[in-house]
C-alpha cells in the first residue's frame, strides 16, 4: 500500500524536501511555545480523483430509412421516450403512391398468370387428342411459369413498397432520453443524416483515464484480468467485490447518491498522453445523470499504518516541503520527506522520511532552523 501512495505522490508532483541552508537560518524566538506531535500509525481513507464524462450505457443514433419531408415531430429534446413510441413521421404521400402502383402491378401479374394457366390447361387436353404439337404445349407451360415468376416479383415489389411506407413512421428503438434538436417539422430527412440520439440512462458510464503507472498498480493490487465476458477478478470474483466502489462528485459540488464500479479498462495506452481509458458504471434509477455531464470520479482507498502530520508542521520552499523532527536533546533537525496532502487539506500523509514514534513540531516552524532548542 505504501508503494501505491508513492506512485500517487508522483502523480501529484510533490518533490522531496531539502534542508534550509545555513545562510537562511533564523534566530529562535524564545517567546514562542512550540507544540509537537508524536507520530503514531493510523487508518485513513484516501480519495483519488479523476475527471470524468458521462454517457448512457446504450446510446443509439436514429437514421431515417427513407428520404422525405418531416411531417411531424412528436418529441422534445431532453424528454424520456418509450421503446416503440412514434418520434417522427415522414411525409408518406410518394410512398403511398408506390404501394398503389405495386398493388396494381401485382393485380396485372395475377391476371396474366391466370390467363396463361387456362391456356396451358387447355393445351394439355388438345395435346392428348393430338390436335396440337408438344412444342405448343411446352410453350404454353413456359408462359405459365413465366407468369408465376412475374407474380412473385410483383409481390416482392409490393412488400418493399409497403416496408418503405412503414419507414415513414419512425419509432424509438429503446427506452431512454432523446436528443432531437437537429430537425424540425418541414425539414428534409435523408438516410445519410441521423435524426436524433436516444440514450438508455437506466445506468450511466463515467469515462475516465488512468496513467500507465496507476494501471499497472491497480491491476497488480486487485488481480484484475480481461475475459471474453469483460473485466474480472481472481477466481471469478465479481469486480464490485474486490475493487473499491467509486463515488461521483457532480459539477455543483454535490455527491451522487449511488456508488459505481469499474467495468472496463482500455486495451491500449495512448502514446501521446500515457493514459488508458477506463469506464465505471453507475445505476441511475431516478434519471439524475445524463449523457455528456462533466463530473469528478472519486476512488476511496482504505490504508492502514499511515503517519499523519498537520499541514502547519510543513515548511514549503518553492515546490518542496520540510518537517522539523525533535531530537532527544530537545533540538530540531529538518527531515527530507515525501508526502501527500489529505483530502480535507488539514494533514500530510508521510510516505518517506519520518517514522512512527518521531516527534515533530506542529506550529511556528518558520521561526525554526536546524539545532534550535524547542524544549
**Residues 177 and 82 occupy one common structural domain:** yes
Query: Is there a domain that residue 349 lies in?
Result: yes
Q: How confident is the model at residue 223 (pLDDT cuts 50, 70, 90)?
A: low
- The model's pLDDT over 313-333, given as tens digits with 9 standing for 90+, comes to 999 887 789 999 999 999 999
Query: Is there a domain that residue 373 lies in?
Result: no
Q: Which SS3 state, helix, strand or coil, does residue 350 take?
A: strand
Residue pair 89/184 in contact (Cβ under 8 Å)? The answer is no
Residue pair 48/149 in contact (Cβ under 8 Å)? The answer is no
- The model's pLDDT over 145-157, given as tens digits with 9 standing for 90+, comes to 999 999 999 999 9
Q: Supply the pTM of this predicted model.
A: 0.59
In the prediction, which pLDDT does 239 show?
Answer: 55
Q: For residue 52, list its beta bridge partners.
A: 295
Q: What is the DSSP string of 110-137?
A: HHHHHHHHHHHHHHHHHHHTTSS-HHHH
Q: What cell does 275 get?
A: 493514459
**Residues 230 and 207 occupy one common structural domain:** yes
CA distance 279 to 277: 7
**Residues 99 and 150 occupy one common structural domain:** yes
**Residues 147 and 111 occupy one common structural domain:** yes
Of 253, 338, 283, nearest in space to 2 by CA? 338
In the prediction, which pLDDT does 202 show?
Answer: 87
Query: Is there a domain that residue 375 lies in?
Result: no
- Give the number of domains in the chain: 4
Give me the residue label for grid cell 429503446. Answer: 174
**Residues 289 and 245 occupy one common structural domain:** yes
**Residues 211 and 293 occupy one common structural domain:** yes
Q: How confident is the model at residue 278 (pLDDT cuts 50, 70, 90)?
A: confident
Give me the residue label for grid cell 445506468. Answer: 203
Residue pair 8/306 in contact (Cβ under 8 Å)? The answer is no
CA distance 42 to 40: 6
Which domain does 330 fall in, by range? 2-45+303-367
Q: What cell does 253 get?
A: 459540488
**Residues 223 and 291 occupy one common structural domain:** yes
- The model's pLDDT over 41-77, given as tens digits with 9 standing for 90+, comes to 999 888 888 999 998 888 899 999 999 999 999 999 9
Q: Name the E strands within 94-195.
A: 169-171, 176-179, 188-189
Query: What are the CA-CA distances from residue 152 to residues 109, 157, 211, 255 (Å)?
Result: 9, 9, 62, 63
In the prediction, which pLDDT does 247 show?
Answer: 92
**Residues 34 and 77 occupy one common structural domain:** no
Rounded (10°) CA dihedral 375, 18, 303, 215: 180
What percent of the chain stands above pLDDT 90?
A: 60
Average pLDDT over residues 337-358: 91
**Residues 187 and 203 occupy one common structural domain:** no
CATH of the domain at 185: 2.40.50.100
Query: Is there a domain that residue 22 lies in?
Result: yes
CATH of the domain at 10: 2.40.420.20
- If one counts every other C-beta atom within 10 angstroms of the C-beta of residue 145, the result is 13
- If one counts every other C-beta atom within 10 angstroms of the C-beta of residue 161, the result is 20
**Residues 76 and 188 occupy one common structural domain:** yes
Average pLDDT, the chain: 86
Query: What are the CA-CA distances from residue 320 to residues 8, 22, 92, 210, 305 (Å)?
Result: 16, 17, 72, 25, 24
**Residues 277 and 293 occupy one common structural domain:** yes
CATH of the domain at 146: 1.10.287
What angle separates helix 134-166 from helix 93-128, to the nearest 10 degrees?
Answer: 160
CA distance 47 to 4: 13
Q: Residue 308 pLDDT > 60, yes or no?
A: yes
Q: Residue 310 pLDDT > 50, yes or no?
A: yes
CATH of the domain at 260: 2.40.30.170
Amino acid at each position: 500500500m505504501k508503494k501505491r501512495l508513492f506512485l500517487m505522490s508522483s502523480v501529484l508532483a510533490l518533490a522531496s524536501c531539502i534542508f534550509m541552508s545555513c545562510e537562511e537560518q533564523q534566530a529562535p524566538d524564545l517567546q514562542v511555545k512550540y507544540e509537537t506531535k508524536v507520530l503514531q500509525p493510523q487508518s485513513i481513507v484516501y480519495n483519488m480523483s479523476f475527471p470524468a464524462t458521462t454517457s448512457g450505457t446504450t446510446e443509439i443514433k436514429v437514421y431515417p430509412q427513407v428520404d422525405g419531408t418531416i411531417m411531424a415531430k412528436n418529441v422534445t429534446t431532453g424528454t424520456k421516450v418509450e421503446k416503440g413510441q412514434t418520434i417522427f413521421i415522414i411525409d408518406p404521400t410518394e410512398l403511398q403512391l408506390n404501394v398503389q402502383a405495386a398493388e396494381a402491378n401485382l393485380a396485372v401479374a395475377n391476371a396474366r398468370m391466370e390467363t396463361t394457366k387456362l391456356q396451358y390447361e387447355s393445351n394439355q387436353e388438345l395435346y392428348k387428342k393430338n390436335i396440337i404439337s408438344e412444342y405448343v404445349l411446352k410453350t404454353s407451360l413456359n408462359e405459365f411459369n413465366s407468369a408465376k415468376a412475374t407474380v412473385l416479383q410483383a409481390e416482392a415489389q409490393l412488400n418493399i413498397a409497403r416496408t418503405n411506407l412503414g419507414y415513414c413512421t419512425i419509432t424509438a428503438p429503446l427506452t431512454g432520453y432523446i436528443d432531437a434538436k437537429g430537425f424540425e417539422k418541414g425539414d428534409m430527412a435523408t438516410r445519410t443524416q441521423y435524426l436524433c440520439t436516444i440514450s438508455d440512462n437506466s445506468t450511466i458510464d463515467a469515462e475516465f483515464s488512468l496513467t500507465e503507472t496507476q494501471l499497472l498498480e491497480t491491476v497488480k493490487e486487485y488481480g484484475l484480468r480481461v475475459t471474453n465476458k469483460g473485466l474480472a477478478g481472481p477466481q471469478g470474483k465479481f469486480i464490485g467485490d474486490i475493487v473499491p466502489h467509486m463515488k461521483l462528485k457532480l459539477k455543483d459540488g454535490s455527491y451522487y447518491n449511488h456508488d459505481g464500479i469499474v467495468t472496463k479498462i482500455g486495451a491500449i495506452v495512448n502514446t501521446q498522453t500515457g493514459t488508458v481509458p477506463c469506464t465505471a458504471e453507475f445505476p441511475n434509477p431516478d434519471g439524475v445523470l445524463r449523457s455528456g455531464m462533466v463530473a469528478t470520479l472519486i476512488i476511496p482507498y482504505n490504508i492502514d499504518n499511515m503517519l499523519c502530520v498537520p499541514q502547519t508542521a510543513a515548511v514549503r520552499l518553492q515546490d518542496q516541503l520540510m518537517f522539523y523532527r525533535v531530537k532527544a536533546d530537545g533540538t530540531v533537525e529538518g527531515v527530507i520527506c515525501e508526502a501527500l496532502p489529505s483530502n480535507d487539506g488539514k494533514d500530510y500523509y508521510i510516505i518517506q522520511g519520518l517514522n512512527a514514534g518521531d516527534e515533530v513540531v506542529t506550529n511556528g516552524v518558520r521561526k525554526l532552523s536546524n539545532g534550535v532548542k524547542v524544549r
